[in-house]
């Protein structure tokens, strides 16, 4: 379940919902993700059977990523998650500020 809520996994799955992508295309589409984090994220998603990694015989070899059926069955849920987060982002930020003011030095920042 942690994978599904992981921000970078969500954004990669949402991007692949529009079709197969190469690594560079994913890196451009998923704002703010480092090369290292994208490498880890696609490996985790591949390991969970949510995406496939296909190496095309070209010079240099090209790698494309695509959703599996399992990954595709998650897309609508993940999109709703992303939409909910976006819609509540500011309000959650305000709640956190209020909480931190009322509970200075709390350890859960």
Residues whose CB falls within 8 Å of the CB of residue 68, separated by 6 or more in sequence, listed in order: 49, 50, 51, 52
Question: 59 or 109: whose CB is closer to its own copies?
Answer: 109
Question: What token pair was written down for 39?
Answer: 């490498």
**How far is Cα 15 from Cα 25, in angstroms, rounded to an integer?**
10
Most distant CA atoms of the chain, gap in Å:
59
Residue 11 phi, psi (nearest 5)? -70, -35
Letters for 36-75 (x = contact with its own copies by CB under 8 A, - = none) are ----x--xx-xxxx--------------------x--xx-
Question: 22 or 88: whose CB is closer to its own copies?
Answer: 88
Q: How many residues bind its own copies (CB under 8 A)?
A: 35
- Is residue 49 within 8 Å of 43, Cβ to Cβ? no
For the CB of residue 96, give the shortest distance to its own copies in the complex, in Å: 5
Contact residues toward its own copies (CB under 8 A) are 1-7, 10, 40, 43-44, 46-49, 70, 73-74, 77, 80-82, 84-85, 88, 91-92, 94-96, 99-100, 103, 106, 108
């Amino acid at each position: 379940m942690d994978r599904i809520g992981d921000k970078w996994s969500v954004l990669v799955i949402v991007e692949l919902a529009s079709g197969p992508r190469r690594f560079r295309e994913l890196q451009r589409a998923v704002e703010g993700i480092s090369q290292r984090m994208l490498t880890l994220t696609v490996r985790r998603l591949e390991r969970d059977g949510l995406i496939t990694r296909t190496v095309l015989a070209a010079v240099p070899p090209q790698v494309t990523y695509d959703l599996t059926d399992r990954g595709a069955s998650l897309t609508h849920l993940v999109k709703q998650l992303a939409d909910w987060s976006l819609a509540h982002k500011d309000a959650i930020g305000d709640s956190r500020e209020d909480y931190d003011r009322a509970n200075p030095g709390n350890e859960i920042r």
